[in-house]
Amino acid sequence: MVFLKHIINTFLILAFVYLSACNNNKSVPNLSATTKYNVNTDSVKTLYGDKFLELRSIVNKYDPIKLIALGSPADEYEPEVTTLITKLNNKLSENEVFDLVFNEFDFWFGGSTTGPKSSYKSLAKDVYLFAQQLK
């Protein structure tokens, strides 16, 4: 039963992303982090270790696209976390982190799916505090 629920949730998410792409006159997005940015999520997870999981936890807490609330697995935002963590450093200003966070989600989800930039302010603040711990 749990497996069936996971399949249904995955289907709904993919259908949502597909329809959003079609409504925004975009091609159907490729959901692979490796393809989008030529970055391998597993390599980044190995490189950053617990920091990767910490940032993933922050993103999941805010669930900006509400996919976790729909029953998606905890690793749902790993492509976004992968690209975020590779661009973060402790020299970025709070506004630069805010722009980075919003732009990453807008790139991955786009248009109306991303929502207004203002809705990313709290997430970006926590990501900024996280980035202060990085070298």
At 50-107, the pLDDT tens digits run 999 999 999 999 999 999 999 999 999 999 999 999 999 999 999 999 999 999 999 9
Cα angle, residue 47 at apex, residues 38 and 78 outer, rounded to 5°: 55
What contacts 1, CB < 8 A, 6 or more positions away?
A: none
Q: Which pLDDT tens digit goes with each residue over 4-60?
A: 444 554 554 555 545 554 544 444 344 444 445 566 888 899 999 999 999 999 999
CA dihedral 117, 110, 41, 1 (to 10 degrees): 100
What distance lies between CA 2 and its chain's CA centroid?
A: 24
**pLDDT given for residue 117 in this prediction:** 95
- Contact 29/17 with Cβ under 8 angstroms? yes
